[in-house]
Amino acid sequence: MKPFQNLKNYTTMLKIQEGEPWVMWPDKLVGNFIDYPANKIFDYDGDYEFTIDFEFERPILKKQTLFSKLPSYFGFDLEPNGFTFIYTEEDNNTEYVSVNYQWQHKERYKLKILKRSFEIFIYIDDILIMTEFLKTKLKVDDISHIIFGAGNFPKNGFNLNYFSVILHSVKIIKDSELISDHEFNKFIHNKSFDLTNNCNFIYKI
């Protein structure tokens, strides 16, 4: 039997329904097989690049979370008049940075978060939107995980900010190495398959 013989081909997207978020937490599933779990990328002290290609079908009328890293927070909320970028530093101080931006539903966007030393750059469609200077290192967690389409696990009942969103791709680069690549055209056992073969699965909560 060939490896991943039961892979199925899907349309190249992941449609996340409101109230049904997905999560990247591969080391909870197969930690022994992963050199560097991509869900810990926002804990990394070096350089990284996180790119998410997405669209949504309805206008933004309230705060909705595109993704969130927990338990110490690092995330991106879409709002009617822009977005809020949230991050937690190692002293447990949480920063909220709000930026005006005009979202158009049924449009496709590419969000890139680029970290270089103590600076974070946020691009939308390859246009630099903001630069944030960190005071300290970012907070590091032993059990980091990245949720897509919510700000928290549904069972926790707070800061949910559900988002009905279509993901077309998620790519994560650590230093200069691509460590996770999801195009959402291959799934195994209802988990999005990481095209780098690094087992960084994304799956429904």
With a cut of 50, say whether residue 9 has pLDDT above it: no
Give the pLDDT confidence score for residue 44 in this predicted structure.
93
Q: Coil, strand or helix: which one is 55?
A: strand
Of the candidate ranges 80-84, 121-125, 192-196, the one whose mean pLDDT is the lowest: 192-196
Domain 8-204 classified CATH 2.40.10.330? Answer: no
* Predicted local confidence at residue 36, as pLDDT: 85
Q: If you average pLDDT over residues 43-51, what whole number do you get?
A: 95
And the tokens for 184?
A: 């959402």
Kindly report whether the peptide bond that precedes residue 21 is cis, defined as omega within 30 degrees of 0: no
Tell me which of 103 and 7 has the higher pLDDT. Answer: 103
Alpha helices in 59-171 (DSSP H): none
pTM of the full structure = 0.90
In terms of DSSP H, where are the helices of 9-163? Answer: 26-30
CA distances from 1 to 4, 5, 6 (A): 9, 7, 10
Rounded Cα distance between 96 and 175, Å, is: 26
Q: What average pLDDT score do residues 13-33 get?
A: 85
For the chain, the domains span: 8-204
Provide the mean pLDDT of the chain. Answer: 90
pLDDT band at 126 (very low <50, low <70, confident <90, very high): very high
Which three-class secondary structure state does DSSP give residue 192?
Answer: strand
Percentage of the chain lying above the pLDDT 70 cut: 93
- Can you tell me the mean pLDDT for 27-48? 84
